[in-house]
């Protein structure tokens, strides 16, 4: 199930992304216009190439259309980022992910055919804000504007209490759908008699406003 990825632009974002994909034993090539960036990653990826991604002949010769995913991690040079996505689209790359620095940049990337646009600075900023305000929320999956699934850390003074005693359903209209003990060990649909253990993470579904209230309460 390993895939082939090409990462264009080996700045901080692109180089960490490429390394992480390669560490999981995918085939990963890196491309950058700067020789020093390519040299830095030479031994950490399947292959790394010095090339200008806006140059049609170079991109053709790398056979990028045969990769599962190509990620355009050029940010500051918006023109290069846009031209690269257009070119990849023309070459028939099946899935293009592009990094955007601004809303407008992101809109253009979507318009010209990027399959996924990411805003790392924006998203990391929003995430950190949430994390500072709600340190006990470990992870969050937004289901809609109103509903989410959240993983909430239980404070140690509640260890030994049962789910029933927490009274989450009646007080907050929330449902505990699972309890995560470790990465491997999960209890699905715990009963009301389940008693909370040290380090348990409650996976809870419900309205965002109710989840916020509960996470404040459990702080």
Q: How far is the CB of 61 from ligand ATP (least distance, A)?
A: 14
Q: Residue 188's CB: how many other CB atoms inside 10 A?
A: 8
User: Judging by DSSP bridges, how do beta strands 175-180 and 147-153 pair with one another?
Assistant: unpaired
Cβ distance to ligand ATP smaller for residue 52 or 115: 52
Q: Residue 39's CB: how many other CB atoms inside 10 A?
A: 13
How far is residue 187 from each of residues 36, 78, 181, measured CA to CA in Å? 49, 47, 8
Q: How far is the CB of 81 from ligand ATP (least distance, A)?
A: 8
Of these partners, Ca ion, ligand ATP, none, which one is at the site of residue 37 (CB under 5 to 8 Å by kind)?
Answer: ligand ATP
How far is residue 136 from each of residues 1, 69, 82, 200, 201, measured CA to CA in Å? 34, 35, 39, 12, 9
Q: Which residues bind ligand ATP (CB under 6 A)?
A: 8-14, 31-34, 37, 52-54, 73-77, 80, 121
Q: How far is the CB of 176 from ligand ATP (least distance, A)?
A: 37
Cβ distance to Ca ion smaller for residue 98 or 202: 98
| Interatomic CA distance for residues 75 and 122, integer angstroms | 13
Cβ distance to ligand ATP smaller for residue 9 or 206: 9
Q: How far is the CB of 12 from Ca ion (least distance, A)?
A: 7
Residues near Ca ion (CB under 5 A): 75
């Amino acid at each position: 199930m390993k895939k082939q990825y090409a990462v264009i632009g080996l700045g901080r974002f692109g180089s960490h992304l490429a390394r992480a994909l390669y560490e999981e034993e995918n085939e990963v090539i890196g491309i950058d216009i700067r020789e020093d960036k390519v040299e830095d990653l030479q031994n950490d990826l399947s292959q790394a190439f010095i090339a200008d991604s806006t140059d049609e002949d170079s991109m053709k010769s790398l056979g990028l259309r045969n990769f599962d995913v190509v990620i355009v991690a050029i940010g500051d040079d918006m023109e290069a980022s846009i031209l690269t996505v257009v070119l990849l689209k023309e070459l028939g790359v099946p899935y293009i992910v592009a990094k955007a620095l601004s809303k407008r940049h992101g809109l253009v990337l979507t318009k010209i055919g990027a399959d996924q646009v990411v805003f790392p600075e924006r998203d990391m900023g929003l995430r950190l804000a949430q994390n500072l305000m709600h340190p006990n929320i470990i992870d969050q999956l937004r289901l809609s504007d109103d509903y989410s699934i959240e993983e909430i850390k239980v404070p140690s003074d509640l260890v030994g209490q049962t789910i029933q005693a927490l009274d989450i359903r009646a007080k907050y209209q929330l449902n505990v759908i699972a309890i995560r003990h470790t990465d491997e060990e999960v209890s699905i649909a715990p009963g009301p008699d389940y008693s909370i253990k040290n380090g348990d993470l409650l996976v809870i579904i419900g309205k965002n406003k109710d989840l916020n209230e509960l996470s404040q309460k459990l702080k």
